[in-house]
Structure 1
Amino acid sequence: MRFSASAVAAILLCTTALQAQEPVDRIVAIVDEEPILASELAAEVEVLRFDKNLQSTSTDMLQQIGLERMIADRLLLAKAESEGLAPAEEDIEAALESSLEGMRSQFSTEESFLAALESEQLTLDTLRKRYRKEVKKSLTIRMLVERDIRPSVEVSEGEVRAFYEKNRENLPVLPERFSLAQIFLEPEASASGESLGVAALNELKARVESGEDFETLAREHSEGPSAAQGGDLGFFGRGDMDPDFEAAAYAIEEPGGVSDVVKSAFGLHIVQLLD
């Protein structure tokens, strides 16, 4: 499960909105006998505001988009749960840690990340517990989609082209985004520790360039939570990452390429461009 680079701000706003809801809330929709509250919709709208493609969208339209998305998610979740679909605990934890690492990467230091949480009266543990529910819900819905919906959807290249030509004036211009993976090491806080880390990553890069699989090496050697995902970090755009990490990522010329060792505020990395 992957999230936009504004996931931290969106999640913080969402949890703040829920904390501040009035004792008596208004029901805006009912799905499978479960109400959707106005405060929940308001929190969803705040999340949508951080989507770069929706920043010029009116509040009324955001509310409509948010409500439609919430209804669809709840219908899919109800069907998935009724059929006994549930992600494994290790998959939930892996997706959660990967997403939290993506959130951390938007801040220059761990201290600034924790300060952002504190400003919203949250701790990392509180955020983890609340966010875990969303991760589990998303993975459950994905299981249903992968099993029942995606195999039955076939769209030809001609249909895609025809849709584009018909709607090209109304389609948003999307910012350039890349899918990235990493092998991450957090060396000892010393010159010798950093030198050993750089040497280890240079050796791993050489192994990739000689034909070994980056994903396998990330699972075996990376020290970050993304190791469980084969180093996969999801999609990022300009301004979404640590500046030094971003510079290394954008210097890669083609998919499959691997960066030189880069030092960020979090440690040492080699980065692979996936797409």
Structure 2
Amino acid sequence: MNKRILVLLVQLISLVSLVKAQQPADSTVAANPTGTVVDEVIWVVGDEAILMSDVEAMRIQGQQEGLHWSGNPDCSIPEQIAVQKLYLNQAIIDSIQVTDAEIAQAVEQYLDNMINAIGSREKLEEYHKKNISQIRADLRESYRERQLVQGMQQKLVQNITVSPAEVRRYFKDLPQDSLPFVPTEVEVQILTQQPKVEQEEINRVKDELRNYTDRINKGEASFQTLARLYSEDPGTARRGGELDYTGRGMLDPAFANVAFGLTDPKRVSKIVESEFGFHIIQLIDKRGDKIKVRHILRKPVVSDDAVTKALARLDSIRTDIVDGKFTFDAGASIISDDKDTRNNHGLMANVTQEGRTSRFKMADLPAEVAKAVDTLSVGAISKPFMMINERGKTVCAIAKLKNRIDGHKATITEDFQVMKNLVLNKRRNQVLHDWVVKRIKSTYVRINDRYRDCQFEYEGWVR
């Protein structure tokens, strides 16, 4: 049964029960003709009902994601759902936007993690008793709401700042046994070589794209259908290759030049090469300085022979560095194909919501890099290895462990950024907590009597 229909059904039964039996709506259940309980309204927040099935669904999802609920889950889970309702309602009022691309990316990342954890796609489908398309559809609305909540929270705390003086004062007043433990962090330099793709393989990919264009122009197939079948961009393929409205600066320069030059939605672009592979593009709409297009991406396959040659070249470069013919810094600046690190002597950057740093926790490094430097001493250089970079391309690399900072209690001199983030997060959490409490006071809330003895995180639910 559609969830919205079920909510309306339960609310209708609740109203009938109030009139006929004068019973509290909180205890009302939806029942089928045999009298078996289908679901139950346990909370109402504003004009939104929270069902027992909502609680059980979040409980299962939390178990799958390894979440641990504070306090009694029977109390904390419905409370968290109620808090989400408050944020979602405000997000609608404030017109918080979430793009289809953001939702698709989050869903695909979650599915990839679940498939890796459970072993295979078939096992995931067996566990859920649904095929992957049905699982994906179920996740989309959940992730849309999750990202709206996050967007609303970010808006509420976007102007919160802390000064260096506040950080030092907080650190000074913090008991020694309350200082945060900073796990081991590393700084890593990387030097990469991208295996050369053979011209024959490039020609094969271009011929495929020309064939797609020909089929579209002849009316044999739509662009959307071919994108779903053949595009190697997982974030857009399932949407027929569609990219939501995007500014020029968010696109690969070569892709943007062609996309923004399109004027006829019926035409397919020439083949364009980007850092991700080769594309054909079709215009959907232009709106101000943003464009909406669909595309098909095909990636040339790197041969085993090309990988072997790149690894051999890196092994030779490593030998020259160890023999003192030139430094790793010089090699990374001149020889490396990695444009993200080349201008910084190969030093990798860890970009987070809190800012940009050269320090990584081992778990935050790409898995292949972490494995390569895990047992290295400071200053040592790894053997050549192969990896898939964030653009989905095969690259070969050597890595140097520039520095290792062993796990320790935070100090104000060595870990100022850690302490600043601690104070900033503390202040943000307090702002969000106060906002929720204030919203509870101004929102209609009704909860089932059995929840009235719960120890809630936020005051004001019980009235």
Range class of TM-score, shorter chain: 0.5 to 0.7
CA distance in 1, matches of 2:173, 2:49: 36
1:41-80 Cα distance to aligned partner (Å, 9 max, x none): 12222333456573xx68x712222222111111100111
CA RMSD, Structure 1 to Structure 2 (Å): 5.2
CA distance in 1, matches of 2:383, 2:44: 50
Shift of 1:260: 5.7
CA distance in 1, matches of 2:156, 2:134: 34
Shift of 1:123: 1.8
Shift of 1:83: 2.6
Match among 72, 79, 102 for residue 91 of structure 1:
102
Q: TM-score, normalised by structure 1?
A: 0.53
Match among 159, 167, 173 for residue 157 of structure 1:
167
Counterpart for residue 24 of structure 1: 38
Q: Is the 8 A contact 1:28 1:36 kept in 2?
A: yes
Q: Is the 8 A contact 2:118 2:124 kept in 1?
A: no
Q: Is the 8 A contact 2:114 2:124 kept in 1?
A: no
- Of Structure 1 and Structure 2, the greater strand share is in 2
Counterpart for residue 192 of structure 1: 305
Match among 195, 211, 226 for residue 343 of structure 2:
211
CA distance in 2, matches of 1:97, 1:164: 42
CA distance in 2, matches of 1:248, 1:125: 36
Sort the Cα spacing of 1:32 and 1:100 in 2 relative to 1 into closer, same or farther, 3 A: same
Q: Is the 8 A contact 1:80 1:141 kept in 2?
A: yes
For structure 1, the 5+ residue unaligned runs are 1-21, 215-234
Verify: 1:116 aligned to 2:128, yes or no. Answer: no
1:110-147 Cα distance to aligned partner (Å, 9 max, x none): xx233222332122211211111122112212222222
SS in 1 for 2:49: strand
Sort the Cα spacing of 1:28 and 1:75 in 2 relative to 1 into closer, same or farther, 3 A: same
Q: Is the 8 A contact 2:302 2:394 kept in 1?
A: no
CA distance in 2, matches of 1:204, 1:107: 37
Sort the Cα spacing of 1:122 and 1:53 in 2 relative to 1 into closer, same or farther, 3 A: closer
Q: Is the 8 A contact 2:103 2:140 kept in 1?
A: yes
Sort the Cα spacing of 1:246 and 1:46 in 2 relative to 1 into closer, same or farther, 3 A: farther
CA distance in 2, matches of 1:147, 1:51: 26
Verify: 1:82 aligned to 2:93, yes or no. Answer: yes
CA distance in 2, matches of 1:267, 1:139: 28
Q: Is the 8 A contact 2:88 2:149 kept in 1?
A: yes
SS in 2 for 1:85: coil
Q: Higher mean Cα deviation, 158-167 or 202-211?
A: 158-167
2:127 alignment partner AA:
S
Sort the Cα spacing of 1:117 and 1:102 in 2 relative to 1 into closer, same or farther, 3 A: same
Shift of 1:26: 1.7
Shift of 1:88: 2.2
Q: TM-score, normalised by structure 2?
A: 0.35
CA distance in 1, matches of 2:79, 2:152: 18
Counterpart for residue 3 of structure 1: none
Q: Is the 8 A contact 2:107 2:140 kept in 1?
A: yes
Sort the Cα spacing of 1:175 and 1:193 in 2 relative to 1 into closer, same or farther, 3 A: same
Counterpart for residue 430 of structure 2: none
Q: Percentage identity across aligned positions?
A: 14
SS in 2 for 1:130: helix
2:41 alignment partner AA:
I
CA distance in 2, matches of 1:97, 1:76: 24
For structure 2, the 5+ residue unaligned runs are 1-35, 187-274, 278-298, 315-331, 347-360, 400-417, 419-463
Counterpart for residue 147 of structure 2: 139
CA distance in 2, matches of 1:167, 1:249: 32
Verify: 1:247 aligned to 2:371, yes or no. Answer: yes
Sort the Cα spacing of 1:103 and 1:187 in 2 relative to 1 into closer, same or farther, 3 A: farther
1:247 alignment partner AA:
K
1:195-241 Cα distance to aligned partner (Å, 9 max, x none): 48879x99866544422799xxxxxxxxxxxxxxxxxxxx9959xx9
CA distance in 2, matches of 1:28, 1:163: 44
Q: Is the 8 A contact 1:251 1:259 kept in 2?
A: no
Shift of 1:268: 5.2
1:211 alignment partner AA:
N
CA distance in 2, matches of 1:177, 1:44: 34
